Structure 1
């Protein structure tokens, strides 16, 4: 099957462009990307979350499912990932040789999506697997509507990101994109997942500082040197 027929579900949530068909190879079950999202645009910036390009914490081990004491959640994870694996095998029978690794890859991606985007977006993510399985492999448009819902899903924004988006609207004298606050929150959540809560707290302080600046300084991103230094210390670099 043409590799372009495979959809990268990690890409749906701005974690890179690793195709499903080229997912876990040679025992690797990582998602291959740690890029962050620009909080003002919601786009992938292509830079690694750490100086080495490898996440320092939070990555589940191979074969894990979402960590939860709720059996219902575990069943949901198993069903979603089984749909993903069944889809791959349906469209490329040779994938059966790596089904355990693909299942682990799926479980890892779901854990990250839930941590960064929340349970509601995870459900939208799972719906893509189910749609792909239910449709012919050569019908690449059958799941466009479900993909669109997944692409547009953002986490619930906290007060800092809501204020930051409002500041953008004020200073640039135009409405902020509807996804601005959610994309800001997704960026912070993503860094917490990769680098830990101290990094998340440093980013919150930085965005709060920027929001308190007059518009000229806000637009230049200047005036928050102390907060920038804390990000360098706690996150390993500037966002």
Structure 2
């Protein structure tokens, strides 16, 4: 399979690593994906993660996502015309390049639709539209072209959600307290991280994370760096997120 086909598979099996420069630990990278199992290799790609005390931990609750051989997901998998077009183009390309996967066609279509829902929830509709454009482009591409749809994939891979006020303030607080500029993507990556908590563990959990981040931005720098002073908000995360 050529590089562009591998790239499209990588999208389906993981949301990708979120470079959350403003995560609770401050400057570390965390993965916002729920992962998935590659049915062609049996390997697992990506893990979900969350943090309630400044350390990154594996989630103990939340939606389960498995491979196209037995897809399970508690999120919205409602299909739309856009999903049909994008996923059918992707699967047509995949099967054209890997004919042996044809028995899995229906499972790949369903898994693609589910993954689109997850992408929209975490990254937003603008980013989802970019991924859809990449999939549609693949539908008219040749397997032998290693640079097929490279521009479309680059645009999609670089997309982050528009940051809300909490993440804008959090990124600014990091720059203030650590004395170094934060990356341009910091606020957007922070927003993707918060969006993932709400998607994976529910609205109440997402709200609890929002309130914790908002509290942290109001702390003096020393307390902000130590993540001390917002104990009530951390306790609420533990309650709302099921120990995530």
Q: What's the TM-score bracket when you normalise by the shorter of the two chains?
A: 0.7 to 0.9
Matched, 1:131 2:137: yes
Q: Distance in 2 between matches of 1:37 and 1:6?
A: 28
Question: How high is the TM-score relative to the length of structure 1?
Answer: 0.78
Which digits, 9 at most, give the CA deviation of each residue in 1:88-121, with x for residues without a partner?
1111112221111100000000011111111100
* Structure 2 CA distance for aligned equivalents of residues 202 and 53 of structure 1: 15
2:35–2:48 CA contact under 8 A, matched in 1: no
Residue 51 of structure 2 corresponds to residue 51 of structure 1: no
Poorly superposed stretches of 4+, deviation over 6 Å = none
2:26 alignment counterpart: none
Looking at structure 1, the residues matched to 116 and 37 of structure 2 have their Cα atoms a distance apart, in angstroms, of: 15
What corresponds to 2:11 in structure 1? 9
Corresponding residue for residue 222 of structure 2? 216
Count of equivalent residues: 216
- For the Cα contact (< 8 Å) 1:160–1:204, is it kept in 2? yes
TM-score normalised to structure 2 length: 0.76
Q: Summarize the Cα distance change of 1:3–1:59 in structure 2 as closer, same or farther, 3 Å threshold.
A: farther
Note if 1:236 corresponds to 2:236: no
Q: Is the 8 A contact 1:210 1:221 kept in 2?
A: yes
Alpha-carbon deviations, 1:173-198, whole Å to 9, x = none? Answer: 22211111111111111111111111
Unpaired runs of at least 5, structure 1: 26-30, 39-44, 67-73
Residue 36 of structure 1 deviates from its aligned partner by 3.9
Q: Which residue of 1 aligns with 2:165?
A: 159
Whose strand fraction is larger, Structure 1's or Structure 2's?
2
Q: Partner of 1:35 in structure 2?
A: 48
Structure 2: state its 5+ residue gaps. Answer: 18-32, 66-71
| Preserved CA contact (<8 Å) 2:137 2:149 | yes
The answer as to whether partners of 2:4 and 2:147 remain within 8 angstroms in 1 is no
Cα distance in 2 for residues equivalent to 1:156 and 1:101: 32
Q: Which whole-Å CA distance do the structure 2 matches of 1:150 and 1:204 have between them?
A: 26
Q: What's the C-alpha RMSD, in Å, of the aligned pairs?
A: 3.1
